[in-house]
Amino acid sequence: MAALGSLRRNSFVLISVIGMALFAFVIAGVFDGSGFQSQDPIGEVNGEKISITDFRNQVDFLKKSYNFSDLQALNTSWDQVTRKEIFRQRIDQLGLGSGKAHLDDFLTNNPNFNSDERFLDDAGIFDIDKFTDFVLNLKDFNPQGYSQWTLQEKEFKNQIDQNNYLNLLKSGINSSNYEGELEFLKSNLTANILYVKIPYSSIPDSLVTISNSEIKAYINKNSDDFEQKPTRDFEYVVFEELPSYKDERDLRDKLNSFLNDREEFNPVSNLNEFVKGFKSTNDFDFYIDENSDVAFDSLFRPKGFFSSDHAQMIFNLNNDQIYGPYKDNGFMKISRMLEKKNNGNVRASHILISYKGSQNADPSVERSKNEAKIEANRILALARLNPDSFSSLALDFSDGPSKSSGGDLGFFQEGMMVKPFNDYVFKNNIGRIGVVETEFGFHVIKVVAKEDLAKVATIALKNVPSNFTSDSVFNVTSKFEIELSKSKDLISTAESFDYESKSLSSITPLDHELPALGNQRNLVKWLFEDDTKIGDYKRFDLSSGGYVLAQLKDVRNDGLMDLNTGSILALPELRKNKKADMIIKENKKYNSLDDLSNEKGLEIVSVSAINQSSPVVAQAGFEPVIIGNAFGLEVGETSSFFPGEEGVYMIKLVNINKVETPSTYISFENQLSNKRRSATESKILESFKSESKIIDNRTAYY
């Protein structure tokens, strides 16, 4: 049953592996189309509908292939399908398109194809005709494979079209010689300055008054910075279904009842029959499978396999001794020691020196068997001289797959390695280094560690609440809900029931996993329903058992932030602006750094070699306005007061450092052009998105 369940869970991976074996590349976006078949759109881009079926398949693909969370898969898939549709519409408007030559060139330069031996000519070069014949053969003899290819071909053409379109746009992005010179000067022209800073913190916040009308005006003036997505805040109380003390006591009693031999009435034979207890039985497969929620583990295990809370007690047992009952990872258990193996687990490292003709040797290996033996003994001498160098020697000389890990093979039990190797590591002490010959070559071996093993029989019963306990939790939750219907206040109701109330904020419409609550998609959908108002409450099941009672506390809809929300961001900026005005007004009589420093007791800070490519100033931090003002002054000139990020500044330009200019600025022109082009794709997409009418219906399906 476990194997069948695994097969079901990983069927998509199995299909993908088969597809990769067929094509030697990933078939992206190919699915069987099963499941939900509604043709209603999950969204629209400029009136063009996005298929829910295609979108759902893409979400499933990302979750199964890349282990994305629900939210990651939904957002990534949405970005992909909207991008694809936006570019398709733009490309169609211009009449751009890709033909066979474009696809042939794409395949020729794709390593998934040009490295496949089936499609290479005698010179080892990709032959498009061979690939074409392969596809035609699929069409005739493997319709499913051909269908997969046509879908993949369509995706390739979309990718080619997008690349061609973006390359056309990028080709028009260049820089002039003048811009190249400016790019050079930004990094290489430096200045030395002096400055005095009057920090905003020198004025207490209590002296700055800001009205609601000022906050509102600031939000409206800077509306782009105060756009918000829809979010919700809610408070909640958790009613967990946990085993009670009586539940656990009953479970311990049940486990103890298994220990001794007993007589049990058999309703089939209508007789009392003798039943061996856990202490005396030798048929562990049957006995444990009959009485335990976890099957019998017949393997020898190291101490680290067992829970750290109980491992030492278990390993201290003599053969046939019992430990427990004990709680462990959601189960109540009793364990019986069956057998121990001292030093039954060994950790070793090795350096493999293969030779021509040895098993699994790389074709590039040309050394003879005798040469391999000499080389192994040479490395043995080096390793014995400095045992700590074994890992680096393995990295330098080993022919084995463990080379990348410094020769480390990890722990293994007796019989897992070829006999000569096995005999050496199990018969020698920790730290011993020697050479062993096997069919794979000569192994320089270091015995790293050894540990004991134990075979333990365990009866494990799930530690779950009884029906009585579950009913009690349900009753308490119901009483709480009735009281909440009267008080309308979850926090005070929680206090009266001696329960802890908690809150979560900024929940988005597509959230699935909530902190401490797990997957609560139904709760999130309820928060965003049109009928759900502030103060409304509802009960939801917990996946671990029990309930969560949630009450909606705050609603933020798409658009401009309201006064309360926006003030959190606006107040610090408004306060800073007012403090700047106050500082400048109070100190406007000062025209020099020396006067300001002497009378106010402020430090004059000297900074050397600032440039326009870095906005960070020593002892001031991120202050781009200092950089801008400095390079706008004449040498020896002192600025007026100006506000920065952390305070108000007055600066003096001491000097501009001479810089040797190059004979040409072409390299800087190219550098600037490449920088602009690399940022083009994301900027173009954002621009196209802002011009498009995009309808997002994901919350109707997820």
Q: At what angle do helices 11-23 and 143-171 cross, to 10 degrees?
A: 80
Q: Is pLDDT at 338 greater than 60 in this prediction?
A: yes
Question: Tens digits of per-residue pLDDT, 140-195?
Answer: 999 988 888 888 888 899 899 999 999 999 999 999 999 999 999 999 999 999 99
CA distances from 303 to 306, 458, 542 (A): 6, 15, 35
Paired strand residues for 199: 647
Q: Is the pLDDT of residue 13 over 60?
A: no
Is pLDDT at 48 greater than 60 in this prediction? yes
The band of 680, judged by pLDDT with boundaries at 50, 70 and 90, is confident
What is the predicted pLDDT for the residue at 74?
Answer: 93
pLDDT of residue 15: 33
pLDDT of 24 over the 70 cut: no
DSSP H helices in 189-259: 212-221, 245-257
Give the pLDDT of residue 682: 87
Question: Are the beta carbons of 290 and 461 closer than 8 angstroms?
Answer: no
pLDDT band of residue 424 (cuts 50, 70, 90) is very high
Q: Give the pLDDT band of residue 36 (cuts 50, 70, 90).
A: very low
pLDDT score for 493? 97
Calpha distance 143→688 (Å, rounded) = 39
Report residue 653: phi and psi, to 5°: -85, 115
Average pLDDT over residues 279-303: 95
* SS3 of 113-178: HHCCHHHECCCCCECHHHHHHHHHHHHHHCHHHHHHHHHHHHHHHHHHHHHHHHHHHHHCCCCCHH
Buried b (16+ CB within 10 A) or exposed e, 399-429: bbebbeeebbbebebbeebeeebbebbbebe
**What 3 state SS string does 389-413 have?**
HHHHHHHHHCCCHHHHHCCEEEEEE
Note the pLDDT tens digit of each residue in 600-616.
999 999 999 999 999 99
**Segment among 128-132, 426-430, 448-452, 536-540 with least mean pLDDT:** 128-132
- At 560, the pLDDT band (50, 70, 90 cuts) reads very high
User: Which pLDDT score is estimated for 35?
Assistant: 39
Give the mean model confidence (pLDDT) for residues 539-556.
96
Instruction: Summarize the confidence of residues 292-321 as an average pLDDT.
Output: 96
Q: 18 pLDDT band (50/70/90 cuts)?
A: very low
- How far is it, in rounded angstroms, from Cα 436 to Cα 351? 10
Task: Check whether 650 has a pLDDT greater than 90.
Answer: yes
- pLDDT-derived band of residue 31, with 50, 70 and 90 as boundaries? very low
What average pLDDT does this structure show over 414-424? 96
Instruction: Give Cβ neighbours of residue 275 (< 8 Å, ≥ 6 apart).
Output: 261, 262, 263, 264
pLDDT band of residue 21 (cuts 50, 70, 90) is very low
Burial, 434: exposed, middle or buried (Cβ in 10 Å; 0-12, 13-18, 19+)? middle
pLDDT value of residue 271: 86
pLDDT value for 154: 86
Q: Give the confidence band of 5 by pLDDT, cuts at 50, 70, 90.
A: very low
Residue 40 pLDDT class (50, 70, 90 cuts): low
pTM: 0.70
CA distances from 529 to 353, 524, 534 (A): 68, 9, 11
Please, what is the average pLDDT of the chain? Answer: 91
Q: What is the pLDDT of residue 265?
A: 83
Please report which confidence band the pLDDT of residue 668 belongs to, taking 50, 70 and 90 as the band edges. very high
pLDDT above 70 (res 12): no
Local structure of residue 387 (DSSP, 8 states)? G
Per-residue pLDDT, averaged over 541-568, amounts to 95
pLDDT in tens, 476-495: 999 999 999 999 999 999 99
pLDDT at 7: 29
State the pLDDT at residue 189.
Answer: 96
Percent of the chain with pLDDT over 90: 80
For the cut 80, the answer to whether the pLDDT of residue 498 exceeds it is: yes
Dist. CA 141–CA 70, nearest whole Å: 38
What CA–CA distance (Å, rounded) separates 181 from 408?
55
pLDDT the model gives residue 330: 94
Q: pLDDT: is 594 or 122 the higher one?
A: 594
In Å, how far are 515, 558, 564 from 554, measured between CA atoms?
18, 14, 11
Domains of the chain, earliest start first: 13-171 (no CATH), 190-227+563-656 (no CATH), 231-242+465-557 (3.10.50), 243-464 (3.10.50.40)
Taking CA atoms, 147 is separated from 154, 229, 546, in Å, by 11, 41, 48
CB atoms within 10 A of CB 260: 12
Tell me: pLDDT of 11 over 70.
Answer: no
* Residue appearing with tokens 């709480």: 480
Mean of pLDDT values over 309-325: 97
Per-residue pLDDT tens over the stretch 628-649:
999 999 999 999 999 999 999 9
